[in-house]
Structures are given as structure tokens and as C-alpha cells.
Structure 1
């Protein structure tokens, strides 16, 4: 046996809308500030470093010029004055100044660590080749600036190199201080935005919460209330849709109560008549056989009427339950109508009613023969029952490329316009006394309309009061099967 494995899909738990709104407000309120603040901080620090690099480049150029003019590399007598200035500049920038001659020997070092040593670093070699260095080492927080020292002002031959290594720790410290201040501001701003987002989110959701509470009250049976929440377009639309649904539910509830009352009344009336007839027989002594037979015939008629009501009610119940279970097949509609007319003709002949059938074209359609036969039978039978003696019933059939049409016309009293929509309601009768005399249950047209609607068709009634009635049925030739709702 094959066992089908159902794939279980992971479903996220319901999201709290208030929390979601708070998070969205928080993100859109704080995230741009964080991003902008970070960009500004980095840009500000970079600008400070660039300014320091330019400043060091200027200082190195000035020192290099003084060293060239003072012939610092060749004349050791003038070194003390310039050395003092070099130390001062190095102290100001918390850095180290190193002077190398053209033999790559360090002749001056403000840190006194490399004096007399050879320095062949790439920056020094590059400077002797005419490429000055001006770089920032982010990892070790320093700026390296090199500047050539010429033999004299007029001669541009490079005689040595001035290398200035300046610390940027003070810039980093300032940046960290600014960063700490910014972080404090961010935390404060985040807290403010969070509180505001919770408050604003709550106020924005208040109409939806009130709408939810009103909808919840409907579940306790308060169908008579009217929901009005017009704060937002969404809540207004939902309120209108709910009010429309409530109106339909109220109508359905009212219709159900009326239907139950009508069923009770209709079923009780024959039973009451039977009870009266039976009590009458039991109260009388020496009842003649003729009267006894007459009373029993009346009782039999009431029982038949009760059975007819029950059968029609069962038909309605079956139609309601089988909305998606039409057993359709290709049926000759002309032949179907002929069989119904043949079955009802004896009833018409008793009242001298002429029955005619007009076939404009042969029609074959995809229908449920049993249900459609019941609907057409009800229409023609009503045309006979509510007709005048010596009148007529005309039945016609026609079709086009999509639908077929059945018309049932009688010569009865007609139906006033205000009653034409009501006659399809269950147990509705225009003339209740006359309907009961003719044996009607008030369910025939309701059954007919249900059958026509099951076939995706429509039924209309027309005519003038006093000049008869015409029922027109339109049904598709090809029935499209509905998908069962899962």
C-alpha cells in the first residue's frame, strides 16, 4: 500500500502588529541617524588626518628649506640652532624627526636611537629618487612624511632626506571622545524613538483594536449592532463590508425564523384538519356510511397534502446539500418537455385548459435531467393550477450558441410587479386560500429557482396583471463543473 507523505510547511507564528510597527519606526527612525552619524564621524576623522598630513607636509617643507639654507648636512657649526627648532616641532606633533644624508647615514634623530646608523627604507630611497612620501598608517596611528634636502637653494641636487613620523594618537583620542558622545546620544535617541514608536504605534492601532473588539462581540450573537470605524480608509472599508455581511446574516436569520414558522404552520394545518375531522367522527353516533366515507376522503386528502409538503421540503434539503453534485449528461430538452406535458395533460383536460408546445429548434444540453425535470414540471403544473378554466398554457423552447431558453406562458390572472420577487421565497403565496385549495405547498417556485441556479442559469417572470404570466428560464448549453472547496 502506498502511503502518501504530507509535506509539513513551517509556518511562522502570528506577529504582534504593535511590536512590528514599533520595530519599523525604530529602524526607520534610528538606523538612518546611525548610518549618517557613522559616515559623518569617519568623514570628520579623515578630514582631520588629511589636514594633519598637509600641515606636516608644510612643516617639513619649511624645515627642509632651513636645513638647505643653513647647510645643515655639511656645516656642523650651525646645527645647534636648527636642532632646537627640529626638537620643538617634533615635540609639538608628538613625533620623531630623522635626517639622513646621501650616504643613507642617519645624522640626526630626535629620539637618539638611530644616529650614525644606515637607513635604507623604501620611503628614503624613494625620496632620493624624487618621490616624496606622505602616508597615514591607521594600524599604528602615525603619519610618515619625507622631504628632500638640497645642496643649496639654486642647486636642486638632493643632498639628504628629512623624515618626519608624527603620531596621530591625539586625533584618535579626540575621535574616540566624539564617538563616546555620539554613542550616548544614539542610546538616548534610541530610547526616545522607542518610547515614541510604542505610543504612536498604539494610537495608530487603536482604531483596528476597537474594530477587533466590535467584531469579537458579533461572535456572541450581537448581529443587530452597526460597526462604524472611519478613521482610516482600510477600517472604513472593513466596517462597510462587515455591515453588509451583518445585514445578510440578519436577513438569513430572519428568513430562517420565518421558514421555521412557515414550516410549522404548514405542517400543523393538515394535522389540525385531520384532528378536527377525526374528533367529529368520534363525537357522532350512528354515522351514515356516506358521511363516514366523505370524512375519510377528507382525511386522506389532508394526509396527501401533508406528504406533498414533506416531499417538497426534502427536495429543498437535497438541493441545498447537492450544490456541487449535479449529475450532468447530454439530454434532449425537447423530448424532456414532451414527457412532462404528456404527464400533466390529464390535469389540464379536467379544466379544459389547452396545452401547446412550440419548438423553434431542437436543443440538446448538458444538464441534470432529474433536477431539471422537477423544475420544469413545477412551472407547467403551476401554470395549470393557477389558470382559468378554458384557458391555455404555451410552452416554447429556443437556443443560441451559448444558452437554451424555456418559456411557460399561461392565461391566468397574472402577478403584480410587487410580488414577482417574493413568489420565489419558500412558502410565499399571493392568495393563500386559493393556493391551499389547489393543493400548492408554496415551495414549488423555490425548488425551481434553486435548480436553475444550480445549472448557472436565471429565471425571470413577466406579464401584466389580469393577462397571464410568463416564466422564462435561461440555462447554459454546456455546464461548467465547479471546483469543490477544500
Structure 2
């Protein structure tokens, strides 16, 4: 029953309230009891003073002590109180019949101090029969004789009132707890209603409808923050699934093109008799070119998978980053030279780095290959390294025609090509790219906790920058 948050909240609420109400009730009960007992003592004291004054007045008239005592007791006798008058030696002169054997439990009357009244509680066997006793010694001015006056009152009235008060107080506390429990349950249910709705909505969300979102009643409270965070997670998952679907579709399309070319070349070659050696050789060359293209696509996809995986899939070690840049630039000079493009290497200082050397080499080669493809003959490509206290910056700049503004936001998307028609034409001839080079380069940079960005691209050329963290 108490497994739900609603039940636990209600239980905690009622439990804390019960502790507060019980403590408050005990305090109120104790205060009320103190007031009642104090009122009882005040009433006893007033009766004692009146009885003492009346007895002294009676004795001043010359009346006998027995007569004066009985007259005073008859005057102040009441159902709640009883009185008795003793001599200074403790001998009973007169007593109220309702007094019973109270005098047997009284202290030694000879020890009662003069003038001052004393209050005692005398147990009579049961708490309900306990009595409160007020005792006072008085002296008759004319004779100098002393007497002791005793007034008693039972606790039964006070005890009955306290029992009734305690019973009413218990009912009030119980009713308050029941109302608090019902109210707490209602408030908890109402407060957790958004959670129930979020749970119901979340159960409906699957890979097919990741565009659904949890409702936001109040985006600024804790539940709203939770829903917003969950919606952000759904948005990221939605983007990832869309990217995965797009990647699978693009990969299938890229793989289908060379396979179609190979299938066509094979069907044509095998479908006609009397082929000479030259025709067979041309068909095999086409198949070889498309096989190489398939190999490049598969290798690029494997590189993407490594870059997307955790750092545990990478092979980190220490190496010279400046030497890696110089070696890659020299390798790119061969490709650039065939196209009439010059590769310039900036000034490099000795730079030690800890990372995956093979992947970083591929990242640099992809950037240089992209620059070579889009730089016309006679153009220049510049690669350099800038060392800063917290990072390294690798710059690859070309003097090509630049990237159209509308395409700059998507150049790092997988299988995206600025000129798809030209790329596909090149693909059928064994050249061109699959649109994975820049995506792989960015993935490798991010796998090293860095980033790759297009800094500038206009009619004068494009500038790419790689930021890598400096761990020295």
C-alpha cells in the first residue's frame, strides 16, 4: 500500500502532523489541568479565610467554642467542600459529617505554623477520591487561645472535567488527523497528477513516435524541469534516430551505385558472346574501380564508427603532432601536384600530443583532400599549427571558389555533397567522394574532445580550424 509516492507523502504528512498535534494536546492538557488545580487552591484558600474570619467573630461574641464551631461549619458547608475545627493540640472540636476520616491523614496539628495557610493533597485510596486540604492556625485576640481550621475538597470534580477534556481533545486530534489524511491524499494525488500524465504519455513513446513530448503544466517547478529535461532527451534521441535512418538510407544509396555499375558491366560482358580480350579487360577495370570505391566507403564507415565510439575504442599514445602534420602535408603534395595545386606548410614548433595518431592522420588527410578537390589549378593550400596554453589549433586554408552559404550548415553531415550531380558522375567513374570526409574529420576531432569548424568560406577560399585540447 505504501509503495506509491502518494501514499508515502500522505503517511509522512499525517505522521508529522500527528506528532505536532499530540505534543500540542499534551501541552494544552497540562496547562488546563494546572489552571483547574490552581482554581481549586484559590477556592479553598478563599473559603478558609472566610471560615477563619467567621469563627473569630463568633468567638469574640463570647460563644462557646463548640457552638461557634458548629455555627461556622453549618454556614460554610457545601456539597463540594468539608470543614473541621481543631484545638491547638489537635483535638477535634467540630467537623462536617462529609469530612469522613480526613483528620486521620492530617499532619501533626501542633506543627501547623501560625497565620500562614498550608495546602496538602491527601490520598484516600483511589486517585478519584484524593482530596485537597487547606489548613490554617488562628488565634482569638481576647483569650489568646489558638485553633486550627481545616477545609477539604475532593478532586473528583476536577478529575471528571479533565477526563472529559482529554476525551474531547483526543476526538479533536483524531478528527484532525483523519481530515489531514484525506486532505493530504487529495493534495498528493493532485500534485502528482502531472507525473501520472507524464508516465502515461511516456508509455506511448517509442522509436516510431519520438516526436511526441511530455506535457508542461508549469515549466518552472520541479516537475516542469523534469519534463523539460525528458523532452530534451527525446529531442536528442529523435535527432539520433533520424540521423541513423538518414545514414542508413544514404549508405545504401552509396553502396548501390557501384554495385549497380559492377552488375551492369558483368551482365553486359557475360550476355554477349565473342568478346575479345580488350573488352573483357575494360569490364574488369570497371569492376576494379567500383570495388575500390566500395572499399573506400566501407573504410570510411568504419572510421566513422570508431570516431563515434567511446575513447576506449581509440588507440592513444604519445607522438609529435608537428611531425604528423608535416608527413601528411608531404603525402598530400603528390595529389595536389597532379592537379597543379601547391601545398604550403606553416612554421611548426616541436609539439608533443597524446591521442590516436592513425585517426588524426586520417582527419588531416581528409581536410587536405577536400581542399585539393575544391582548389583549381594554380591555387594554394596552407596548413599550419598554432600552440596555445590550453589548446592546439590546426588551420587548413585553400584558395578555392568557396562553399555556398546555403550549404555551409550541412557540410559536416554524412553523405552530404555540395555538388551531388558532379560527385555522382565522378563516382561512376571511380572518382569523387561519398560525402563522408568532413563528417569523419569532425568525428575524429570530437573523439579527442576537440572540435572542427568552418571558420570562413567565400570567393577567396575556405578556412577550416581544428581545436585539440592541450594536455601538457
If the length of structure 1 is used for normalisation, what is the TM-score? 0.85
Check 1:427–1:221 CA distance in 2 against 1; reply closer, same or farther (3 A cut). closer
CA distance in 1, matches of 2:224, 2:32: 51
Q: Do 1:352 and 1:391's aligned partners in 2 also have CA atoms closer than 8 Å? A: yes
Check 1:120–1:293 CA distance in 2 against 1; reply closer, same or farther (3 A cut). closer
DSSP 3-state at the match of 1:171: helix
CA distance in 2, matches of 1:158, 1:458: 114
Determine the structure 1 residue equivalent to 2:87: 101
CA distance in 1, matches of 2:248, 2:449: 28
2:79 to 83, 92, 95: 92
CA distance in 2, matches of 1:316, 1:92: 104
1:334 to 319, 322, 334: 322
Q: Do 2:367 and 2:441's aligned partners in 1 also have CA atoms closer than 8 Å? A: yes
DSSP 3-state at the match of 1:469: strand
2:41 to 34, 40, 53: 53
Does 2:252 match 1:264? yes
Determine the structure 1 residue equivalent to 2:444: 451
Q: Do 2:6 and 2:192's aligned partners in 1 also have CA atoms closer than 8 Å? A: yes
Determine the structure 1 residue equivalent to 2:393: 405
CA offsets 1:280-322 (integer angstroms, 9 cap, x no match): 1112333232232222111101000001111111122222233
**What's the C-alpha RMSD, in Å, of the aligned pairs?**
3.1
CA offsets 1:111-133 (integer angstroms, 9 cap, x no match): 58779x999826x4553355531
Larger deviation: 130-139 or 225-234?
Answer: 130-139
Tell me by how many angstroms 1:149 deviates. 1.5
CA distance in 1, matches of 2:207, 2:284: 51
Tell me by how many angstroms 1:205 deviates. 2.3
CA distance in 2, matches of 1:173, 1:381: 102
Aligned length: 461
CA distance in 2, matches of 1:119, 1:234: 70
Gaps of 5+ in 1: 1-12, 480-486
Does 2:266 match 1:278? yes
Check 1:431–1:70 CA distance in 2 against 1; reply closer, same or farther (3 A cut). same
Does 2:292 match 1:304? yes
DSSP 3-state at the match of 2:378: coil
Determine the structure 2 residue equivalent to 1:134: 119
Tell me by how many angstroms 1:260 deviates. 0.7
Check 1:152–1:109 CA distance in 2 against 1; reply closer, same or farther (3 A cut). same
Gaps of 5+ in 2: none
Q: Do 2:379 and 2:400's aligned partners in 1 also have CA atoms closer than 8 Å? A: yes
Determine the structure 1 residue equivalent to 2:181: 194
Q: Do 1:363 and 1:398's aligned partners in 2 also have CA atoms closer than 8 Å? A: no
Tell me by how many angstroms 1:196 deviates. 3.0
CA distance in 1, matches of 2:310, 2:180: 59
Determine the structure 2 residue equivalent to 1:152: 141
Check 1:120–1:31 CA distance in 2 against 1; reply closer, same or farther (3 A cut). closer
Determine the structure 1 residue equivalent to 2:152: 165
Tell me by how many angstroms 1:50 deviates. 1.2
Larger deviation: 274-283 or 300-309?
Answer: 274-283
Check 1:94–1:456 CA distance in 2 against 1; reply closer, same or farther (3 A cut). same
Q: Please list, as runs of the form range in 1=range in 2, the aligned pairs for 1:197-236 lying within 5 A after superposition.
A: 197-219=184-206, 221-231=208-218, 233-236=221-224
DSSP 3-state at the match of 1:440: coil
CA distance in 1, matches of 2:456, 2:161: 97
Tell me by how many angstroms 1:400 deviates. 1.5
Does 2:416 match 1:428? yes
If the length of structure 2 is used for normalisation, what is the TM-score? 0.87
CA distance in 1, matches of 2:441, 2:36: 91
CA distance in 1, matches of 2:384, 2:207: 52
DSSP 3-state at the match of 2:152: strand
Check 1:372–1:141 CA distance in 2 against 1; reply closer, same or farther (3 A cut). farther
CA distance in 2, matches of 1:478, 1:277: 53
CA distance in 1, matches of 2:177, 2:453: 68
Tell me by how many angstroms 1:359 deviates. 1.3
DSSP 3-state at the match of 2:150: strand
Tell me by how many angstroms 1:457 deviates. 1.2
Larger deviation: 269-278 or 328-337?
Answer: 328-337
Determine the structure 2 residue equivalent to 1:442: 435
